Amino acid sequence: MKFDILTLFPGMFSGPFDESIIKRAKDKQLIDISLHNIRDWATDRHQTADDAPYGGGAGMIMKAAPLSACIDSVKTLHPDSSVVLTSPHGRRLTHDIARELTEKPGLIIVCGRYEGIDERIRSIYAEDDISIGDFVLSGGEIAAMAIVDAVTRLIPGALGSDESAQTDSFSDGLLEYPHYTRPPEFNGLAVPESLLSGNHELIRKWRRKESLRKTRTLRPDLLSRAFLTREDRKMLTEIEQEEISGL
């Protein structure tokens, strides 16, 4: 998959994209990432990419002309790629949206800065707006990193084991079950007996029940949207009874 990232600060990506899963996916040629400095398309000698807003107000606005020229240049190389703006106005990034984005031939991710971009860029080019939450960042670069990471790990082969992506939190609408590793006891806390039993069916049921328990406790809003089987509903009833009895 091809990622083109349009930014005023390409140096911000040198660390996150050179480590761990992203690096391995690049090495396997599962993804290709190109960074484009928007200032390179500015026509004045100072490479100006921002200006004061019409109507007054605080802050600066990213200029339409250099950003438009940058998008056009990248689109010429990758005409099938979708233009995505990182913006607080956008859809909040979820696991389902990340999975949806993996179906695209490529993504051209525009990193907003300052008070935002000239609205005409959105009108002309934007095919999607993505937000990573209801909070303010200094720019869209961190959001772009999150999008690339979330999408990359869903590409077959990127994690080395497709099962890992299939059991991540949110993959089935629920939070993931708790994990344990050696030693079997740490600071007086023991690993649940079910995980030490060697009984695969018992382990599966424990994991599912604990996934439901964690979701019910931390993100009950997810339960209303998740597909729950008859077994799931029975487990939820058991969890409620355990809470009432103080177990």
Which are the catalytic amino acids?
A: 88, 115, 153, 168
Alpha carbons 94 and 100: distance in angstroms, whole number: 10
Find residue 83's DSSP bridge partners: 108
Structure tokens at 26: 């690049």
Asked whether the beta carbons of 53 and 61 are under 8 A apart, the reply is yes
Asked whether the beta carbons of 154 and 9 are under 8 A apart, the reply is no
CA nearest to 7, candidates 123, 107, 109 = 109
Cα 92 to chain centroid, rounded = 9
Find residue 92's DSSP bridge partners: 131
Non-local CB neighbours of 93 within 8 Å, separated by 6+ positions? 130, 131, 132, 143, 146, 147, 150
Alpha carbons 143 and 86: distance in angstroms, whole number: 6
Alpha carbons 134 and 160: distance in angstroms, whole number: 33
